[in-house]
Amino acid sequence: MARLSFRLTVEGLADDTLVVHEYQGVESLSDSTQAGLRCYGFRYEIKLASRQSGLTALELVDKTAQLEILRDDLVVQRVHGIVRQFSKGDIGHHHTFYSLTLVPALERLSLRQNSRIFQLKTVPEILSIVLQEMGINDYAFSLKRECAQREFCVQYRETDIDFLHRLAAEEGLVYHFIHEEGKHTLFFSDDSQSLTKRETPIPYNVLAGGVMESPYVSQLTQHSQTEVSHSALQDYSFKKPSYSFAQQAQGREMDYQQATYEHFDAPGRFKDDISGKAFNQIRLEYLRREARTATGKSNHPGLQAGTKFDLQEHLDDSANRDWVVVQVHHQGQQPQALEEEGGSGATTYSNQFTLIPADVTWRATPQAKPQVDGPCMALVVGPDGEEIFCDEHGRVKLHFPWDRYSNGDEHSSCWVRVSQGWAGSQYGMIAIPRIGHEVIVSFLNGDPDQPIVTGRTYHATNKAPYALPDNKTKTVLRSETHQGEGFNELSFEDQAAQEKIYLHAQKDLDALVLNDATAHIKHDQHLTVDNDQFTHVKHNQHLTVEGESRESVKGSCILMVDGSLHVKSGQVWTNESGDEIHIKAGQKVVIEAGSEITVTAGGSFVKVDPAGVHLSGAGVNLNSGGSAGSGSGFSGDLPLLPGELELQKSPAPPQTILYQALLQAEEARVPAVKVCPLAGDA
């Protein structure tokens, strides 16, 4: 009969330093919980004895170790890992008793917690970074589906191991370990077909008292149970607001259950149909992983988590098929290792296992995504030399105080949406947060991967436009000139008896009124124009002054009337010119007075009154030659017209019928047909 033995070697110790007395081990696909302890692929509790009584934790803890199972001095299985825990027990006559816990190097990731951002990377790339940071280089991926690149992926207050498990489960990645001499390789796969199958089948033998030289399965129980029949996930993207991203997946091999057990969830944590379809299928396979299983016992040490094997010689032919080991508990006893302490008996090994059919892909339990407890603060960032940095959607880049890895530049985060006070179809309001501004960031559904700016705040550097609390009655909307000095402002003063609205335009102020504009000023109005003023009234203008009207023109004043000019004075009308007054009419000039008309020049005058016409001068010449005097004539220019404001065009109305039809076609997966270049709009 074959002779069985166990051997443990530890880095830095002689091979015969420790002998194995007994051990208990558990292995599982991905992580599991055993007796309240987390198991990251495997966990072995090993009881040892040694003739050395002075072994310390310094010599064993965090060192690599290897447990080997030998049959006739040939290694038939090994488990390689690191020593997580070490205990020193009693000292006997010849031996000192010790125990240790053997775990994968992956467990080191449970000892580090972090918060950081990954951008434009796939999950395998992210996992590789995390593993390599902890010195784990023995890992491999065998993936049937290509993981999509993630625009923004946050590890938020998570241990590295929880972060790894969460991302792996989201993408349907399952891991187990491949043990070789001196190392153990972390192996990720997303399909049972990627698992390596044992070359030799394992026989089934349940006959009482049966003796077999080779290891065998001694007990097998197949289980079937009702599970979810189909899964439906849904999500939302602002880039396709009318599209539901609905995904459906139907279970298979459900002949023993009803097909009406739907699992619906939203949000499904995806933004495109390719990822949505994959995530929904992964979700369904997780929910149905217990639908068909098998449990059993064996003495085959080669049954490790992730092993695929062919079972033969079972009386129920349905059991003679390929199986995948999901979980296995190992027990080994080597009492003769303590023969000097009275130990006796043969070395024994056994295990209990859980299997799934090899044509079923096992999925890990989805890990709860960390929730952000309320809003948090961030700073708006961007490239050097810029003051405002955004994309076509008005999104900005942020730097979070907890992010130790970013440089506070345009690469610090993904583009983050900004909440505005009003947002419609090409109407509403918009104010882009500028570089250096402090903003309040919320997270959709508490998801750290979906930040959105919901507010802005002042701080010790960025202070309010007016000193507080001195100006606490002011409501202010003030901007800042981009790439220059200055600001625009609309402010309201609400202090009693000092109420005021203040408007400041750093350069131009344009107002366009498509119909009427009415202003009623109940006291004074003051208008100062430092340069030119242009007014163009395209129809009639009416001006009524109930008091007096004064105008002072320091240059020339030109009045041009295409029609008639009527001037009426109730009392006196006085015109005074420093040099000349020229009155010219195309036909006639009539000067009429009720009592008297006087023309005076150079000491001479002509006076017309009821008494007659009076001429007085040094001489009165009638038909004595000479010529009439002439005036300067009209030399005025037309006024310049004011600049016209360009009317902003209203946004074109959406083509509702075509738009809805395209959405329906997209949701129905209708193939796109290229439009003939000869076709018109119809």
The domains of the chain are located at: 4-104+328-347, 226-287, 371-482
Over 90: is that where the pLDDT of 656 sits?
no
Over 80: is that where the pLDDT of 2 sits?
no
Over 90: is that where the pLDDT of 269 sits?
no
The share of the chain scoring above pLDDT 90, in percent, equals 78
Q: Which of 29-33, 255-259, 427-431, 623-627 has the lowest mean pLDDT?
A: 623-627
Q: What CATH number has the domain spanning 226-287?
A: 4.10.220
Over 60: is that where the pLDDT of 607 sits?
yes
Q: Are 337 and 343 in contact (CB under 8 A)?
A: yes
Q: Which band of pLDDT confidence, cut at 50, 70 and 90, is reported for residue 682? A: very low
pLDDT reported for residue 256:
86
Q: Shortest CA distance to 361 belongs to which of 283, 298, 429, 470?
A: 283
Token representation of residue 630: 């002439």
Q: What CATH number has the domain spanning 371-482?
A: 2.40.50.230
In this structure, the dihedral spanned by the alpha carbons of residues 88, 93, 94 and 100, taken in order and rounded to 10 degrees, is -20
Q: Which band of pLDDT confidence, cut at 50, 70 and 90, is reported for residue 679? A: very low
425 vs 619, higher pLDDT: 425
**Model confidence pLDDT, tens digit, residues 138-163:** 999 999 999 999 999 999 999 999 99
**Model confidence pLDDT, tens digit, residues 382-415:** 999 999 999 999 999 999 999 999 999 999 999 9
Token representation of residue 7: 């051997």
Q: Which band of pLDDT confidence, cut at 50, 70 and 90, is reported for residue 103? A: very high
Over 70: is that where the pLDDT of 129 sits?
yes
160-170 helix and 273-287 helix, angle to the nearest 10 degrees:
100
pLDDT reported for residue 680:
43
pLDDT reported for residue 208:
46
Of the ranges 171-180, 632-641, 642-651, the best mean pLDDT one: 171-180
Q: What CATH number has the domain spanning 4-104+328-347?
A: 2.30.110.50
Q: Find out whether the peptide bond into 375 is cis, omega within 30 degrees of 0.
A: no
Mean pLDDT taken over the chain: 90
Over 70: is that where the pLDDT of 29 sits?
yes
Over 70: is that where the pLDDT of 1 sits?
no
Q: Can you give the pTM of this predicted structure?
A: 0.83
- With a CB cutoff of 8 Å and minimum separation 6, the contacts of 159 are 109, 110, 111, 112, 113, 114
pLDDT reported for residue 681:
44
pLDDT reported for residue 660:
58
Spatial distance between the Cα atoms of 520 and 540, rounded to a whole number of angstroms: 20
**Model confidence pLDDT, tens digit, residues 561-588:** 999 999 999 999 999 998 999 999 999 9
- Helix ranges (DSSP H) in 424-523: none
pLDDT, average across residues 521-540: 94
Q: Which band of pLDDT confidence, cut at 50, 70 and 90, is reported for residue 166? A: very high
Q: Give helix then strand counts, H and E, for the chain.
A: 5, 31
**Model confidence pLDDT, tens digit, residues 424-463:** 998 999 999 999 999 999 999 999 999 999 999 999 999 9
Over 70: is that where the pLDDT of 661 sits?
no
- Helix ranges (DSSP H) in 80-234: 123-133, 160-170
**Model confidence pLDDT, tens digit, residues 226-239:** 999 999 999 999 98
pLDDT reported for residue 628:
74
- With a CB cutoff of 8 Å and minimum separation 6, the contacts of 380 are 389, 396, 397, 398, 433, 434, 435, 436, 437, 438, 439
Same fold, 4-104+328-347 and 371-482: no
Instruction: Locate the DSSP E strands across 517-596.
Output: none
Q: Which band of pLDDT confidence, cut at 50, 70 and 90, is reported for residue 669? A: low
Over 90: is that where the pLDDT of 534 sits?
yes
Q: Which band of pLDDT confidence, cut at 50, 70 and 90, is reported for residue 671? A: low
